[in-house]
Structure 1
Amino acid sequence: MRNSLDSIARRLPTRRTLALAAGAVVLLSAIVVAAGAAYFAAGLGPNADAVAAAEADPDVAVDRTPVGTAVRDGPVTASTVGFVYYPGGRVSHESYVPTAAEIVAASDRAALVVVVDAPLNLAVLAPDRADRVRERYPDVDAWAVGGHSLGGAMACRHAAGNAGAYDALVLHAAYCDRDLSQSGLDALVVLGGADGVIDAERERASRENLPADARVVELDGVNHAGFGAYGPQPGDGPASLSPAASRRAVGNVTGTWLSERGAVTRERRSRSVSHRGSAGVLTAAPVAG
């Protein structure tokens, strides 16, 4: 009997073996985590030429701040329309600087767009980073929050918990998975007619989460990557517009819409949502550039 027990004991792993195995698992896990972090931290984009062109534009100023990159067309005052923008998943926030410049240029009012610098280029890791943006610009009274793709979804979630802090929600190639139908927010959804990445059925079904008078605009010739300056994206549809023309189209629709909202104050958010109208879907055919 004792010989049998000794034989079994010899076949069992020793404490040293178990320790080595555990160490190997920990090391492998650390390598996987580090590789994943490096993958997301690398990010997509930005297109250096597009960012340089935005920086060279004499009509806008580009400021790097601890909370992200700010694009504005003048001093930030109480009359400035503020827009916090969450970047798409695994996309460098700098990739949206050219789009932000187009939004500012299209606004008829003083405008400020702050593209949030998300950890590892994932807005899901900092869904409330917009709070820090608003704290940095306390003079701004009218704020919108939004973003592209995953960033838009995170902006929606942030707005759901902080609707009283904002006047508007802007979704670029994104949809809302939280109910904001009674939030009192104005809402704009901008879609690309050539977008091959977004789940179109889910986007359409999710519109019931938005206020009844949400405006939906579909831009012909714009694909998913056309909302930023980070290059082609796997699975995307072919765009008939150039990247620059796509960003210009997105900026024109967004900036014009935001400037229309710039005159509202937080007092407007207290109005009854029962007086709102019905949502409209528009299709736009921007001019190629």
Structure 2
Amino acid sequence: MRGVLDAIARRLPERRTLAFAGGAVVLLVGLVVAGGAAYFAAGLGPDADAVAAVEADPNVSVDRMAVGTAVRDGPVTSSTVGLVYYPGGRVDHESYVPTAAEIVAASDRAALVVVVDMPLNLAVLAPDRAERVRERYPEVDAWAVGGHSLGGAMACRHAAGNAEAYDALVLHAAYCDRDVSESGLDALSVLGGADGVIDAERERASRSNLPADARIVELDGVNHAGFGAYGPQPGDDPASLSPDASRRAVGNATGTWLSERGAANRDIRSRSVSTAGSESVRSAALDVAG
């Protein structure tokens, strides 16, 4: 009996060491996970001055809700064209409020843009959150869904599985990794001519996933960060346009197109734009980060 007790006593330090080591590993993993969550939750932006300028504009209204932030230019009715907008990866959704305001301003119709607040600022964690926006505004008949960079890719995935709920898809510095070529959706892809972040080869190769009459617009002087108001982005190329001018160019290209394409019900939409190539707009001119 004494021999058995001695053997147990000799093994106790070893067991304590193993227990301590196991606990240390669990703690380390927890710290890494928590640190990663904090990193993404912090988000890039928004530019407070740019958001404040939108809030001070008497021509638009900014409504903050649990699902995100809405920018509109009047009452929401059945004639309003709506756009559900997914933010880029690790970008605070409010960074796109100034872009939303430019889209609304460029639209010839009453317009509503709802920038969705994503968990940990990652649209990949909630690709179907647009459904909550549509539920919030049941009076809107014409809906588009879109987003910037990773947000655009996730918007495309959502549209691929819910094409009947939308009239249009809007990609900003993004590309589709799902085939929506036969979805019946109108599609707009707005690219920055100075974008140093997007994988240009994959973007071009992925155009076959879009409808044949998708409109491709390239904005000279606009880089990847120019689609929002969150400051410079690592790996991006310098923009020749100012941040304000970049967002204005993006908003104009998007808002005018939504007016044309989103104005009609799907049954009577005109598909008059064919882009075998790419249209270059000169206006004075999937990536996790953005």
Q: 1:231 & 1:86 partners in 2: Cα distance?
A: 18
TM-score, with structure 1 as normaliser: 0.92
Displacement, 1:46? Answer: 0.3
Displacement, 1:109? Answer: 0.1
> What fraction of aligned residue pairs are identical, expressed as a percent?
83
Which residue pairs with 1:282 in the alignment? 279
Displacement, 1:62? Answer: 0.4
Q: Is the 8 A contact 1:119 1:126 kept in 2?
A: yes
Displacement, 1:15? Answer: 2.6
Local SS of the residue matching 1:256: helix
Q: Is the 8 A contact 2:214 2:273 kept in 1?
A: no
Local SS of the residue matching 1:182: coil
Paired residue type of 1:39: Y
Q: 1:1-289, aligned counterparts within 5 Å?
A: 14-268=14-268, 277-287=274-284
Displacement, 1:88? Answer: 0.2
Local SS of the residue matching 2:278: strand
- Cα deviation digits, residues 44-78 of structure 1 (max 9, x gap): 00000000001111110000011000000001010
Local SS of the residue matching 2:258: helix
Paired residue type of 1:255: G
Displacement, 1:10? Answer: 5.4
Displacement, 1:148? Answer: 0.3
Q: Is the 8 A contact 2:100 2:113 kept in 1?
A: yes
Local SS of the residue matching 1:184: coil
- Cα deviation digits, residues 106-159 of structure 1 (max 9, x gap): 000000000000001000000000000000000001000000000000000000
Displacement, 1:18? Answer: 1.9
Q: 1:279 & 1:256 partners in 2: Cα distance?
A: 21
Q: Is the 8 A contact 2:215 2:273 kept in 1?
A: no
Q: 2:195 & 2:13 partners in 1: Cα distance?
A: 55
Displacement, 1:287? Answer: 2.6
Q: Is the 8 A contact 1:109 1:262 kept in 2?
A: no
Q: 1:241 & 1:58 partners in 2: Cα distance?
A: 26
Displacement, 1:265? Answer: 1.5
Paired residue type of 2:282: A
Q: 1:159 & 1:81 partners in 2: Cα distance?
A: 17
Q: Is the 8 A contact 1:141 1:266 kept in 2?
A: no
Paired residue type of 1:282: E
What residue ranges of structure 1 are gaps of 5+ in the alignment?
A: none
Q: 2:234 & 2:246 partners in 1: Cα distance?
A: 18
Q: 2:148 & 2:10 partners in 1: Cα distance?
A: 60
Q: Is the 8 A contact 1:99 1:247 kept in 2?
A: yes
Local SS of the residue matching 1:14: helix
1:230/1:133 Cα in 2 relative to 1: closer, same or farther (>3 Å)?
A: same
Local SS of the residue matching 1:82: strand
Paired residue type of 1:100: A
Paired residue type of 1:17: T
Q: Is the 8 A contact 1:45 1:95 kept in 2?
A: yes
1:129/1:222 Cα in 2 relative to 1: closer, same or farther (>3 Å)?
A: same
1:278/1:45 Cα in 2 relative to 1: closer, same or farther (>3 Å)?
A: closer
Aligned residues: 280
What residue ranges of structure 2 are gaps of 5+ in the alignment?
A: 286-290
Displacement, 1:280? Answer: 4.5
Q: 2:257 & 2:96 partners in 1: Cα distance?
A: 18
Q: Is the 8 A contact 1:189 1:217 kept in 2?
A: yes
Local SS of the residue matching 2:144: strand
Q: 2:213 & 2:78 partners in 1: Cα distance?
A: 27
Displacement, 1:277? Answer: 4.7
- Over the aligned positions, Cα root-mean-square deviation in angstroms equals 2.1
Paired residue type of 1:184: G
Q: 2:227 & 2:243 partners in 1: Cα distance?
A: 8
1:285/1:174 Cα in 2 relative to 1: closer, same or farther (>3 Å)?
A: same
